[in-house]
Structure 1
Amino acid sequence: MLSCSGIVLHAGKTNKNAFKALIAAEYTGVKVELVRDFEMGVSNKAPEFLKMNPIGKVPVLETPDGPIFESNAIARYVTRLKADNPLFGSSLIEYAHIEQWIDFASMEVDANIARWFYPRLGLTVYLPPVEEAAISALKRALSALNTHLASNTYLVGHSVTLADIIMTCNLGMGFSKILTKSFTSEFPHVERYFWTMVNQPNIHKILGEVKQAESVPPVQSAKKPSQPKQPANPKAKDESKKEAKKEVAKPKAEEAGEEEEEAPKPKPKNPLDLLPPSKMILDEWKRLYSNTKTNFREVAIKGFWDMYDPEGYSLWFCDYKYNDENTVSFVTLNKVSGFLQRMDLVRKYAFGKMLVIGSEPPYKVKGLWLFRGEEIPQFVIDECYDMELYEWKKVDLSDDVQKERVNQMIEDHEPFEGEALLDAKCFK
């Protein structure tokens, strides 16, 4: 080990950005001490830490000459501690290519993995179009990387460089958290490269055993923002003083009663429950739909129109606004599944069909919905953010073409509007 005392890395033990410097240190033969008992959200908010990095991000490298932040800069510094370090290549062009792949690993791979993964954890706002764009960009990056690795064992030259270290750390979060085998199998050379790299002794020493994610994490429920505090109202203060005086005069028996828990208030009725009764019994239609296995058009479709009550229910077409971004089949299907899950709040009052259309990307997403009432329920618009991702059009039942379109969507008619169905999902 090179003698470089006083180099301390401030980060948690599982921080993948800290791994870059620690692995570089192993290859370089430099002793980098990882600070003990680092607690994210506490240690990085301490005054002494903020002196090293005013915005409180990790990792930070403490050196005898001053602190360094930004993980790639830290890894470069550690690598430079050894003169003519092969981690930076053996020529000017190799050095340039190493820097090229470091930028690629950060801006094309790491950034898009994060844009896909973090919203699913609830760390940032989850928006399906943003996720779709992130996955599409990530696939484009991995495709380029796969092509390069088809004829190269390492990113640059014939041995491990700093570019490989940073790329492996960035891919590591993806492989272990969100990139399932079904996803990475499209990029066999990337798979070969990653598993080769994580089993290099100096890298394995820092990363340990890496297991590939078995499934994509579900989207975490977004927390409702807390209500802002109302500004102080002088009149309210005066009234509260008056109320306080009144309470002083309360009998003791009444005071004792107030210590008991307040009885729960009755749950307010859903506005749809207050509508005039309808001749259409939604559950009867759902049973007919589910139980009809043959002669669907003659039995189920005919039964639907016999039951349908245009005064008590309404039919709506929906078309996804961002079909050009539906370039990944399983992501598009997951997007629709997530929408249906979030529509659970209206299950008692609705029936829906969602079609994913096309034999190749970009896929089209179209739907048909039956809602209680003559309009889309307002509470659904307010509480299910997916609604704004679709264009909604009320079905005109006087138009035979629209009515036939309803029939075809209910029965999963294929081809639909001249195209194959990738999938059809039912909400009932």
Structure 2
Amino acid sequence: MVPSLLRVAPSLTNLPNESSMFRKGTLALHSSKTNKNALKTLIAAEYSGIQVEMTEDFEMGVSNKTPEFLNMNPIGKSNAIARYVTCLKPDNPLFGSSLLEKALIEQWIDFASLEIDANILNWYKPRMGRAVYLPPVEEAAISALKRALDALNTYLASNTNLVGHSVTLADIIMTMNLCKGFTKLLTRRFTSEFPHVERYFWTMINQPNFSKILGEVKQTEQIPPVASTNKPSWPKETAKSKPKDEPKKEVKKEPAKPKEEAVEEEEAPKPKPKNSLDLLPPSKMILDEWKRLYSNTKTNFREVAIKGFWDMYDPEGYSLWFCDYKYNEENTVPFVTLNKVGEFLQRMDLARKYAFGKMLVIGSESPFKVKGLWLFRGQEIPQFIMDECYDMELYDWKKVDITDEDQKERVNQMIEDQEPFEGEALLDAKCFK
């Protein structure tokens, strides 16, 4: 985090060498005025009725490098400062009204820092020239950010605030971490995939205590281009220069080989080994056609998509499988459970050509149950998937007997995301296609 520092007047703490600039009962915050971490503290102070003043003439990269600053606190962290300011008010509602709410607030602060802020910075800093820009690293950061926003979006679909029914410190920190993204990276096209996050962000930003500190906030219209000086460059090979007085040696040229010989000496490229599933007899079921039908059916899902599935289904070329997570008792936190399923689907990407899947997270309260339905090419779960995706062994797998009408109906309900499912509410349903 960007260094910032909070100092308190002697009447509040016993800090040595206090300057007369710190008035009794006033907190002084050493940071730049655009530092999002400092802004968290100022917003928390507004909600708490605590007086905090920014020091004048603070210059990041200069003021925070002075011996005086480093002696006071070499690595000030603003989440800690925001917590401190919040705690100065006894029974502050920003920290919840019970031990459970306090724990949930800390949980969301960690999520905001580790899943939202960290991935936004991993995307943003290389584009600004503050780190080497590497496309695979950027792709990983964007993918991780989307997973986090998807989990947050699902939670906010049925919650106005992160904890309870009023603003807490978790909301302040989450909103300010999102603010960096909304104003620098996340265009409207990007955030439109997460409508509940959008609603939450703009609702929070327009709260009086936020707008008093932040003023007008505008969403960026474009992703910043990569700084031209930040693109990785590779050293060019340079020929070693010979001493000037070294006599030139005659180089005898070997007679050129006939063209045919040269071709014969070149090793032919080895053909890429085929996946064993590609060697199976042709199937009447075209997987991509089913995936298109599933994606494009918006109404009458039973009559169109489900009927279409069974019309296409080839029991000789494909098989259906139910899966149940073995450790559902661990699924006590909604967003952690959703992330777990999302990461499983991401690792299943190696099977996209040969599989279709539905994963359901079931229950209105913890522990949540994770169940799935998978369509695989062939009569068994492909061995390369079992070998390369370790999540597979975290589930119990059972082959669907399509002659059993109850099992067949269960397949229909899972494809359709029927709710309630087996008597319980659906927290979320994810599709692999």
TM-score (norm 2): 0.49
